Amino acid sequence: MKPKSVAVVGAAETTKMGKIPDVSVLGLHADAALNAMKDAGLKPSDIDGVATAGVSPVELAQYLGITPTYADGTSVGGCSFMLHVRHAAAAINAGLAKTILITHGESGRSRVGAGGFGRNASSLMGQFEMPYGVTSPPTMFTIPVLRYMKTYGVTEEDLAMVAVVQREWAARNPRASFKDPITVDDVLNSPMIAWPFRMLMCCLVTDGGGALIVTSADRAKDFPNKPVYVLGTGESVETPMVSQMEDFNSSKAFRVSGKKAFDEAGIKHADVDHLMIYDAFAHLPLYGLEDLGFCKPGEAKDFVRERNTAIGGKLPMNTNGGGLSYMHSGMYGMYALMESVRQMRGTAAAQVEGAKISVCQGVGGMFAAAGTVIFGNEA
């Protein structure tokens, strides 16, 4: 993709966030989509491309009254939306569509119109992981972490510090689910979920959604809000089974996706003003900082402890409070993208003054997939 050839011209979350027992999954997609169209000054008839995960792009298009010439149903977990942005950029450059709507909605907490959790005992995961008692992300995403901790001398306190710093950011966000300050001791005294993970090291489970509208850069200036340009993108996938990750100290999908995005954007790490790393659990920002090259292997714990990612630090990270404190519906990637866009527009609740480049890193499944989008606000 040519840097700055496409831009985000519409972006909005659902009207409500957190606990929304009166809206179904499809309804959350639609609410976010309508808010994003309003933000961009567009109607459904102006949209000619759709992308979504969780529900089918067919359901979405029909529900919103859109007749697309481009549909992307890529569904690789929480980073699907990063991949949608990437594919949309390619599609717009190739002339497949002009104005692409990307939506997310999930009734993670209330489970309204959400269907059940399927399990297939003959899948590889069903045969070689499920029999040992894995339940949900807290017992899968966490599996590599004791190895990582031993390799680099990472402590429980280091994991706790990630949650503490993010809560400080969340305190500045009126829409964040959890805003009260917490200490390392609070985290280490919270209920044990799956050793070494305590409750406050695990993400929230909430309801919500978000939507983005992407178009070509040459049209982007005609919209009501400041365009946010896509500088570079990356994606990769590794394994559906966390036990089969090549390296428990590092995510191959993160490394491949991140490098691709940085190469495409033609930027250096020192150019980055703002960073989002999908934090379903407290270890993810540590892996992300290292796998994206912001820190050397094993040094992310010190980087966080020394408050480089905190308010006033040199690399503000997860400034909405993240999946640990802001919200987490299940596929959090859309909210990370939303915060990057707000920071680039200059409208974030905890705005990083003068930020020009934002890196947004998503994860899908349990280190199964990764997507990276690098945004900038200068044409």
Partner 1 sequence: MARMLPEPTPETRHFWEGCKDGELRLQRCTECTHSYFPPRPFCPKCGSRDVEVYAASGKGFLYSYVINHRPRPDMGTEPHSIAVVELDEGPRLMTNIVGCPQTPEALQLDMKVQVKFEKQTDDISLPLFEPAKG
Which residues would be at the binding site for partner 1 (CB under 8 A)? 119, 121-122, 124, 126-135, 138-139, 142-147, 150, 191-197, 241, 243-244, 248
Rg (CA), the chain: 19
- Given 148, 278, 287, 335, which residue is catalytic? 278
Considering the complex, state which of residue 197 and residue 229 has its C-beta at the smaller distance from partner 1.
Answer: 197
The minimum distance between CB 82 and partner 1, in angstroms, equals 26
The minimum distance between CB 205 and partner 1, in angstroms, equals 14
Three-state SS across 125-140? HHHHCHHHCCCCHHHH
- Given 70, 148, 326, 332, which residue is catalytic? 326
The minimum distance between CB 319 and partner 1, in angstroms, equals 29
The rounded distance, in Å, linking the Cα atoms of 332 and 363 is 9
3-class DSSP assignment, residue 372: strand
Considering the complex, state which of residue 27 and residue 196 has its C-beta at the smaller distance from partner 1.
Answer: 196
Q: Are 264 and 90 a contacting pair, CB within 8 Å?
A: no
Considering the complex, state which of residue 15 and residue 250 has its C-beta at the smaller distance from partner 1.
Answer: 250
The minimum distance between CB 363 and partner 1, in angstroms, equals 18
Considering the complex, state which of residue 23 and residue 134 has its C-beta at the smaller distance from partner 1.
Answer: 134
295 closest CA partner among 311, 313, 280, 281 = 313
Beta strand 357-364 with 274-277 is parallel
**What does the block give as tokens for 297?**
């292997």
Q: Enumerate the β-bridge partners of residue 198.
A: 192
The rounded distance, in Å, linking the Cα atoms of 276 and 299 is 18
Whether residue 326 lies in the annotated active site: yes
Residues 6+ apart with CB under 8 A from 293: 258, 259, 262, 269
Q: Are 263 and 255 a contacting pair, CB within 8 Å?
A: no
Which contacts (CB < 8 Å, 24+ apart) does range 114-119 have? 114/24, 114/25, 115/25
Considering the complex, state which of residue 196 and residue 364 has its C-beta at the smaller distance from partner 1.
Answer: 196
Whether residue 278 lies in the annotated active site: yes
The minimum distance between CB 192 and partner 1, in angstroms, equals 5
Task: State the catalytic residues.
Answer: 278, 326
